[in-house]
A and B are shown apart, each in its own frame.
Chain A
C-alpha cells in the first residue's frame, strides 16, 4: 500500500512542476484539479494501509474533497476565466523555465530537510512530509511570481493542497468536522476570490494585481 501511496505522491510533485511550467491558465487549472482529486484519495489509502475499512465519515470527507477540488472549484475558476477573457499568464516575474527549476530545487531541498525534521516517523516510509513541503513552496512560488489575479487563486489552491497533504500525518487525529470546515473555507474562499477577480477586472480593466498598488496607503 505504501508503494501505491508514494506513487500518487510522486505524481502530485510532478504536477507541481507542470503547474509551474505552463502558461495557459486553463491548463494550470486542470493540473491543479487533478492534483486535488489525487490528494482526496490519499486518506482512503492511509486508512486501508492501517488495516480496517474506512468509516463512513472518512469516505464522506474524501468524496467531498474530490468533488470540490476536482470539479466544483475548477468549474468556478473556468467560469471566472471565461468572463475575464484571458488565456495566458504573460510576463511573470520569474520565467516559466526558471520557475520550474526553482520548484525542482525546492522539492530537492524539501527531501533533504524532511529527513532532518524528526516528524516523518508517524507515517514511516512515505513521502508525505517532503511532498507537502514541496507543494507549499510551489504554491508560494506561484503566488509571488504571477501577476494575474486568477493565478493568485491557483497559487492559494496549490498552497492549500500542500497543507492538506501535511494534515495526512494526523489523519486519525483530525475530527471530521474540522476537515469539512477546512474544505468549506477553501470553497467559500475560491468562490469569493472569483467574484472579486471579476470586479478587479471591471474596475481596473485588467486582472493584473500590480494595479492594486494604487490602493496602498
Chain B
C-alpha cells in the first residue's frame, strides 16, 4: 500500500469523523469522543502515509473516477505537498483533542455537532487541496475548505459580532476564489487542460498573468496585506482551537497555492520574486505593528499571523529571485526557510491560540488590559505560553529561530554576490530583524500583562482561574515539545525542508543541499548552551525565592507568635495560616490598586507611536487639568486600516448611493410589469431603428 493511498483513506476518515458516530446509539459525550478518536486515527493514518511516501521512489500519481463532466480526480504527493500536509494532520488531531475539553458537548449543547462535523470536513478538505493535481478538484476542495472553516468559525452564530466577522470572511474568501476561477480558466486556455502539471511551454505574458492572479487569489487566503482584512475578525471570534487550525494551518494553504503555482510555471522572472518579497515585507511590518497596538488577545495573535505569513512570503520571494537568477543557494535557503517557518508557525501559533483559549476561559474576557497575575494560578499554561512567545519572537533555542535563520543566511548571501548579486534583497534581512524586535516587544507585553503583576479584575463567578484539564493541556504540551525539539535538533527538519525546496524548484539532488548550505550543528550547540543557561538561572531563582519564602515564613511566624501573645492578653484570636500576601512595594504610596499597573496599552504606547506610519489611532482622552482635576479618562482604538478605514466606508458609501435605487422597488406587481413594458418598448423602438 502506497503512502498516497493511506492519505486518501485518511482524508475520507477525517471527512466522515463527524458523521460516523451517529450510526451507533451512543450518549452525546461518547459521540464527541469517538469523533475525535476517528479524526485522530485518520490523522495518524495520514501522517503514516506521509512518512511512507518519503521513502517511496515509484510514481505516486493516483487517478480515481470523478463525477463532474469536467476535471478529474488526480492526486499526487510531492515534497511541497508533504511539507504542508504534515501540519494539517498533526494540528487537526491535536486541536480536536483540545476541543474535547474546551468545547464540551454538555457546555455547548447547541453547536458541538456542527463544530465536530465542520472540523472533520475542514481537515479533509485541506488535505485534499494539497494532493489535488487537477484544477476542478482543487477548486472543489478549496471551496469545501472555505465553507467548512466558515461553519467552524461561526459556531457561536447567536452572537452578532461573530456573524459580522463571519460575513466578512465569507465575502473575502469568495472574492479570493473568484480570482482563482479566473486563474484556472486562464490556465485551461493557456495549457489546454485542467491538469496541474508543470507547463514549461507557457509564454512569458501568460505565466506572468497566472502568477499575478495566484498572488491575489491565494494572497486573500494567506492574509497578505492588504488582503488580510478578514483575518483578525474571523480568528478573534472563532473558538480558540478553530483559530488555531485556521491560523496554524489553513492560511498556510494560501501560501501553498502561490508556491505551487510558481513551481508549475516556467522559469520565473525577477519581478515575481520582487513582488512576493515586497508584499511579504509589507505584511510582516504592518502585521506586527497592528499586533502590538491591539488589546484583544486573539486579534493580537491573528495580526501576528499576518506578520508570520509575511515572513514566509519573504522566504518564497527570495527563493523565486534565486530561481530567476539561477542561484541555487538563494533558492534553497529561501524556500527551505519558508517551509520550516510554515511548520514552526503552525506549531507555536497553534500553541498560543490553544493557550489563549484557556486564558480567555479563565479570565472571562479577551481584553488583555483586564487580565493579570494568571501565572500564579495557571503555572503550566504560563510556562507553555512563555515558550510560545519565545518561539514566535524567533529567539533561540526554540524553533522560530531556525526558519528565520535560514532566511537570514539567504539574505546575507544575496548581498555577497556569486553569479548574480542582488544587493537590494539584503534589505530583507533588515526587515526580518526589525520585525523580530517588534515581535519580541509585543510578546513581552502580552506575557507580562496577562500572566504577571496582580489581577485587574475579580474572577468570573463559577470559573476557577486554574490550569485547564488534561485534554486541553496535553495537546499544548505536545506542541511545545515539538517547538523545543525543532529548536534543539533542527538537522532532520532542515534536511526535509531542503528536499521539499528542491522538489519545488525541480532541482536535481546533486545541485546542492540545504544541509550543506546551513550547517545546523552550531545551532544545536547554541541551543543546548542557552537551554542549560536558562535552566540554571531558573534553578537559581527558584532556590532564592524558596529561601526568601522560608525566611519570610519564619519571620512572620515569629510575628504571629508575638501577635498571638498580645492578642491573648486582649482575649481576641488571630487567624493562622501562611504569610499574608502583600502587593509589591510601591514607593510608599498609601492606596495602591491593581489598576495602577502598566497595562498592555501603556506598554505599547512607545512602540506603537513610533510605528504610527502604519497605524491609525482613534483616541478619546479627558486628561486631568488644574490643581484639583476632575474625573479623567483615556481610550485608544487601533482600527484595522484596510477594513475599518477603507473597505467599510467604501461599502457604506456604495450602499447609500445604491439605496436611492430603492424607490424603484415599489412592491407592486403592476409597477414591475410597467418596467418590463417600458424596456420592451424601448427595445422595440431601438430594434426598429426609429430614432
Binding partners A and B = yes
Contact A209 B668 (CB under 8 A): yes
Contact B667 A143 (CB under 8 A): no
Of the candidates A116, A155, A215, which one forms a contact with B688 in the assembled complex, judged by CB atoms under 8 Å apart? A116
The interface-forming segment of A56-64, A78-86, A144-152, A180-188 is A144-152
Interface centre among B667, B670, B685 (most CB of A within 10 A): B670
Q: Which residues of A contact B666 (CB under 8 A)?
A: 213, 216
Closest to B675 in A: A144
Does any Cβ of A come within 8 Å of B635's Cβ? no
Does any Cβ of B come within 8 Å of A28's Cβ? no
Does any Cβ of B come within 8 Å of A140's Cβ? yes
Contact B677 A144 (CB under 8 A): yes
Q: Give the residues from 639 to 691 in chain B that come closer than 8 angstroms, CB to CB, to chain A.
A: 665-671, 673-674, 676-677, 680, 684-685, 687-690
Contact B689 A209 (CB under 8 A): no
Contact A210 B673 (CB under 8 A): no
Contact B670 A117 (CB under 8 A): no
Does any Cβ of B come within 8 Å of A93's Cβ? yes
Does any Cβ of B come within 8 Å of A173's Cβ? no
Contact B670 A145 (CB under 8 A): yes
Does any Cβ of B come within 8 Å of A113's Cβ? yes
Q: Which residues of B contact A152 (CB under 8 A)?
A: 669
Contact B673 A147 (CB under 8 A): no
Contact A116 B690 (CB under 8 A): yes
Q: Which residues of B contact A168 (CB under 8 A)?
A: none
Interface of B is mostly: helix
Interface size on B, residues (CB 8 A): 18
Closest to A93 in B: B670
Q: Mark A134-164, 1 if CB is under 8 A from B, else 0.
A: 0011001001111100001001000000000
Closest to B674 in A: A144
Contact A144 B688 (CB under 8 A): no
Q: Give the residues from 117 to 138 in chain A that come closer than 8 angstroms, CB to CB, to chain B.
A: 117, 133, 136-137
With A116-B690, A140-B673 in contact, do A133 and B667 touch (Cβ < 8 Å)? no
A144 to B673 CA separation, bound complex (whole angstroms): 6
Q: Which residues of A contact B674 (CB under 8 A)?
A: 140, 144
Contact A143 B673 (CB under 8 A): yes
Does any Cβ of B come within 8 Å of A1's Cβ? no
Contact B667 A212 (CB under 8 A): yes
Of the candidates A116, A140, A147, A216, which one forms a contact with B667 in the assembled complex, judged by CB atoms under 8 Å apart? A216
Does any Cβ of B come within 8 Å of A3's Cβ? no
CB distance from A122 to the nearest CB of B (A): 16
CB distance from A66 to the nearest CB of B (A): 28
Interface size on A, residues (CB 8 A): 23
Q: Give the residues from 203 to 217 in chain A that come closer than 8 angstroms, CB to CB, to chain B.
A: 209-210, 212-217
The number of residue pairs between A and B whose CB atoms lie closer than 8 Å in the complex comes to 49
Contact A217 B665 (CB under 8 A): yes
Contact A209 B670 (CB under 8 A): yes
Q: Which residues of B contact A215 (CB under 8 A)?
A: 667
Q: Mark A167-210, 1 if CB is under 8 A from B, else 0.
A: 00000000000000000000000000000000000000000011
Contact A212 B673 (CB under 8 A): no
A214 to B666 CA separation, bound complex (whole angstroms): 10
With A209-B668, A210-B668, A212-B668 in contact, do A113 and B673 touch (Cβ < 8 Å)? no
Q: Which residues of A contact B684 (CB under 8 A)?
A: 113, 133
With A145-B670, A212-B669 in contact, do A117 and B687 touch (Cβ < 8 Å)? yes
Contact B670 A140 (CB under 8 A): no
Interface centre among B669, B677, B680 (most CB of A within 10 A): B669
CB distance from A139 to the nearest CB of B (A): 9
A217 to B668 CA separation, bound complex (whole angstroms): 12
Q: Which residues of B contact A145 (CB under 8 A)?
A: 670
Contact A140 B680 (CB under 8 A): yes
Q: Which residues of B contact A216 (CB under 8 A)?
A: 665-667
Q: Which residues of B contact A133 (CB under 8 A)?
A: 684
Q: Which residues of B contact A147 (CB under 8 A)?
A: 670
Q: Which residues of B contact A140 (CB under 8 A)?
A: 673-674, 676-677, 680
Contact B680 A144 (CB under 8 A): no
Contact B668 A213 (CB under 8 A): yes
A217 to B659 CA separation, bound complex (whole angstroms): 13
A32 to B414 CA separation, bound complex (whole angstroms): 85
Q: Which residues of B contact A116 (CB under 8 A)?
A: 688-690
Q: Which residues of B contact A213 (CB under 8 A)?
A: 666-668
Of the candidates A136, A144, A217, which one forms a contact with B670 in the assembled complex, judged by CB atoms under 8 Å apart? A144
CB distance from B45 to the nearest CB of A (A): 50
Closest to A143 in B: B673
CB distance from A142 to the nearest CB of B (A): 10
CB distance from B92 to the nearest CB of A (A): 42
Interface centre among B665, B666, B677 (most CB of A within 10 A): B677
With A144-B670, A209-B668, A215-B667 in contact, do A117 and B688 touch (Cβ < 8 Å)? yes
Q: Mark A85-118, 1 if CB is under 8 A from B, else 0.
A: 0000000010000000000000000000100110
Closest to B668 in A: A213
Q: Which residues of B contact A209 (CB under 8 A)?
A: 668-670
A206 to B382 CA separation, bound complex (whole angstroms): 71
Closest to A114 in B: B688
Q: Which residues of B contact A143 (CB under 8 A)?
A: 669-670, 673, 677
Interface centre among B668, B673, B687, B688 (most CB of A within 10 A): B673
Q: Which residues of A contact B671 (CB under 8 A)?
A: 144
Closest to B685 in A: A113
Q: Which residues of A contact B668 (CB under 8 A)?
A: 209-210, 212-213
A214 to B689 CA separation, bound complex (whole angstroms): 41
A154 to B687 CA separation, bound complex (whole angstroms): 28
A155 to B677 CA separation, bound complex (whole angstroms): 13
Q: Which residues of A contact B676 (CB under 8 A)?
A: 140
CB distance from B621 to the nearest CB of A (A): 43
Q: Which residues of B contact A146 (CB under 8 A)?
A: 670
Q: Which residues of A contact B677 (CB under 8 A)?
A: 137, 140, 143-144
Closest to A149 in B: B669
Closest to B672 in A: A144
CB distance from A111 to the nearest CB of B (A): 12
CB distance from A26 to the nearest CB of B (A): 22
A217 to B687 CA separation, bound complex (whole angstroms): 35
Q: Which residues of A contact B680 (CB under 8 A)?
A: 136, 140
CB distance from A14 to the nearest CB of B (A): 22
Q: Which residues of A contact B687 (CB under 8 A)?
A: 117
Q: Which residues of B contact A212 (CB under 8 A)?
A: 667-669
A215 to B667 CA separation, bound complex (whole angstroms): 7
Closest to B667 in A: A216
Closest to A147 in B: B670
A113 to B690 CA separation, bound complex (whole angstroms): 8
Q: Which residues of A contact B690 (CB under 8 A)?
A: 113, 116
CB distance from B660 to the nearest CB of A (A): 16
Q: Which residues of B contact A217 (CB under 8 A)?
A: 665, 667
A146 to B669 CA separation, bound complex (whole angstroms): 10
A213 to B665 CA separation, bound complex (whole angstroms): 10
User: What is the interface of chain B, defined by CB distance below 8 A to chain A?
Assistant: 665-671, 673-674, 676-677, 680, 684-685, 687-690
| 20 CB-based A-B contacts, threshold 8 Å | A116-B689, A117-B687, A117-B688, A133-B684, A137-B677, A143-B670, A144-B670, A144-B671, A145-B670, A146-B670, A147-B670, A155-B673, A209-B669, A209-B670, A212-B668, A214-B667, A215-B667, A216-B666, A216-B667, A217-B665
Known A113-B688, A136-B680, A144-B674; 19 more pairs at CB < 8 Å: A93-B670, A113-B690, A116-B689, A117-B687, A137-B677, A140-B677, A140-B680, A143-B670, A143-B673, A144-B670, A144-B673, A146-B670, A147-B670, A155-B673, A209-B670, A212-B667, A212-B669, A213-B668, A216-B665
Question: What 5 A-B pairs are tightest by C-beta distance, nearest first?
Answer: A216-B667, A213-B667, A140-B677, A116-B688, A144-B674
